[in-house]
Structure 1
Amino acid sequence: MLNTANVERQTIKGNGYEIKPSLDHDRLYEIEFDHEVVKRFFEEVKTISSQQLDYIPYMRFIMTEKLVTLLDGDFQKTVRGILHDRSSGGFTVGVNGYTNDKEEYVKFSTAFSHLVGIPNFDAMSGNYYARFSVKHTDDSDSYLRQAYRLFTLHTDGTYVDEPTDWLLMMKFGEKHAVGGRSRLLHLDDWEDLEHYYHHPLATQKLVYKAPPSKNVVKEVFRTTFYERNNEPCMCFIDQFVHPSTIEEATYLKDLSHSMENSSETKGVDLPEGKLVMLNNHFWLHGREAFEENPDLRRELLRQRGRFA
């Protein structure tokens, strides 16, 4: 596949914001707001509680409305364009150190998720978003909360039968955390994509089943590769796919090993109060292991959903 990472990307300056190529990854953009925009946004939404966002779906769009009215008319179109752009498909943005209030982090992330679409119901949390912690000890049934294990590359929404076009992750806070960077791989950067995309098992339907903690009992059938806009896309997570033959298992194991060892799988730091949004069709993500510390704690928020 053509590697489009070197497509020249320009800095875009708008009313109250700047969008520029990220220094952390050569495919991502970084959105920076003027300090006054962040200040006015949180002033505008201070009377809206996170409970209202939980209970009243239309209030989530009010978050977006409060943000976009502080900016020019091109902002929403530009952000959506980045997520659909195959050469990028992702960006980071933060609150610029204005606040460390977790209620305000929920509002900020909600403004961005509803800028591009509608989040799926997250059965694990029973809400449109999930907040979870990674700590020193863990007795969960997946890698999500296991701090000292490599969280292998995957896409989201593999075990639900609804579109999962995009993913949003925001860091709420951490203490005594060394390591644990986000690991990202854009599908077009993967050296072995051609081999696995054209493999006879690439379009074989496989069973995906979630562990009990996900609160989803339905089995779904998905192919590992599919096309959107005549481009290869991927659905994969090693923990939840259940092959039915040795050949399928070997294909999946080799595929995962190849991605994990790709020179294009890169670690990215996500500071507190910052989020990353990715196109879930052609970005894979994971997490490095943390260095062991009994006082380790990190809290994250996740939203994922469909494009408008």
Structure 2
Amino acid sequence: MSIVKSSREQGFIQRTDFFEVAEHPQSQRLYQINIRDHVIEQFLEDTSDISIQQLEYVPYMRFVVADRLNSLTNGKLKEVLTTILHDRNTGGYTTGTNSKTSESDDYVKFSTAITHLIGEPNFDSMSGNYYARFSVTDIDNSDSYLRQPYRLFTLHTDGTFVDEATDWLLMMKMKEENAVGGESRLLHLDDWNELDIYSNHGLASKEITYKAPSSKNVSKEIKRKTFFQINNKPCMCFIDQFAYPKNIEEANYLKSLSESMENDPSLIELSLPVGDLVVLNNTFWLHGRAAFEKNSELNRELLRQRGCFSE
């Protein structure tokens, strides 16, 4: 069966000798892609001589590891990954390394292969690289919600304060110790009960100024519309922390919009094992994070990549 012709309503399932695609057990909007053990093992062996420094310093090596993973699936994985992300009915999936490694370098290689099959990551100014790794621990003195463990990280899209397209987002769990809570909170725009109210509001297409805090290493101000259309469907660009409305009306609109999403019954909390990742279409999926339970030994490390689709 071709995934290109499948519909979400039919519940697509594809099985090959190289991977299996099935509905995600936690969400009817997501797929779960289980790459076969032998593929993961061979990929790790074939890329064992490629260092992380090579990936960081030699950009074409990122496509080399992507090609290796795709070749091990008889050239089929790239089509599956990209088609799902472009499908408005779903636009997201999880996959992982099947506990075949616990090495952080292997996680970087695997996530790099995935992203370079769907497009090209943007430069991440926070890390100074094409990917960012960051930890969430008990004590935090940062200037954004990203590393603050005991508060709700509200729903948002990525790339609001950068002057480039951010079509997709990848988040991978690298490490987790003494963590209770902290689930990824996700909302697909088409499941939001009050989408029509806010996307048709008079301020929906008004440009809002976004400014990043100092930790993001981005000084340029960006103006973005909260709602825009792709293929005649509403898409969104929003993060509450970095929006600078010009007046009370704009502020009340953004506050009400955020509260509506946070309280929507369709919001899901996704549990992600260490070594697994989630990839989302950033134009119609909102994401955030639940609060952790207090623990002085809390330690979670995440990897993030975000970027644009291949032409």
Please state which band the TM-score falls in when normalised by the shorter chain.
over 0.9
CA distance in 2: counterparts of 1:75 and 1:174, whole angstroms: 28
CA distance in 2: counterparts of 1:256 and 1:69, whole angstroms: 43
Aligned to 1:42: 44
CA distance in 2: counterparts of 1:184 and 1:231, whole angstroms: 19
Q: 1:9 aligns with which of 8, 11, 16?
A: 11
Q: 2:120 aligns with which of 118, 137, 157?
A: 118
CA distance in 2: counterparts of 1:75 and 1:302, whole angstroms: 21
Contact 1:123 1:215 in 2 (8 A): yes
Question: Is the counterpart of residue 58 in structure 1 residue 68 in structure 2?
Answer: no
Amino acid at match of 2:195: L
Aligned to 2:219: 217
CA distance in 2: counterparts of 1:147 and 1:282, whole angstroms: 26
CA distance in 1: counterparts of 2:8 and 2:99, whole angstroms: 31
Amino acid at match of 2:90: S
Segments of structure 2 that go 5 or more residues without pairing to the other structure are: 1-6
Contact 2:179 2:293 in 1 (8 A): yes
Aligned to 1:259: 261
Contact 1:15 1:72 in 2 (8 A): no
Aligned to 1:241: 243
3-state SS of 1:111 partner: helix
Identical aligned residues as a percent: 57
Aligned pair count?
304
3-state SS of 1:163 partner: coil
Report runs of 4+ in structure 1 exceeding 6 Å deviation: none
Aligned to 1:20: 22
CA distance in 2: counterparts of 1:305 and 1:194, whole angstroms: 27
CA distance in 2: counterparts of 1:12 and 1:75, whole angstroms: 11
Amino acid at match of 2:146: L
Cα deviation, 1:167-188, whole Å, max 9, x if unaligned, reads 0000001110000000000000
Cα deviation, 1:17-38, whole Å, max 9, x if unaligned, reads 1111110211100111111111
Segments of structure 1 that go 5 or more residues without pairing to the other structure are: none
Aligned to 1:141: 143
CA distance in 2: counterparts of 1:45 and 1:73, whole angstroms: 17
Q: 1:284 aligns with which of 283, 286, 290?
A: 286
TM-score (norm 2): 0.97
CA distance in 1: counterparts of 2:121 and 2:16, whole angstroms: 27
How far 1:74 moved relative to its partner?
2.8
Q: How does 1:193-212 map to 2 (within 5 A)?
A: 193-212=195-214
3-state SS of 2:272 partner: coil
CA distance in 2: counterparts of 1:81 and 1:294, whole angstroms: 42
CA distance in 1: counterparts of 2:234 and 2:17, whole angstroms: 36
TM-score (norm 1): 0.97
Amino acid at match of 1:21: E
Amino acid at match of 2:205: T
Aligned to 1:152: 154
Aligned to 2:309: 307
Q: 1:78 aligns with which of 77, 80, 98?
A: 80
CA distance in 2: counterparts of 1:18 and 1:25, whole angstroms: 17
Q: 1:96 aligns with which of 89, 95, 98?
A: 98
> Over aligned residues, Cα RMSD in angstroms?
0.9
How far 1:6 moved relative to its partner?
6.6
3-state SS of 1:26 partner: strand
3-state SS of 1:76 partner: helix
How far 1:9 moved relative to its partner?
2.0
- The verdict on how the C-alpha distance between 1:79 and 1:241 changes in structure 2, with shifts beyond 3 A counting, is same
CA distance in 1: counterparts of 2:308 and 2:70, whole angstroms: 20
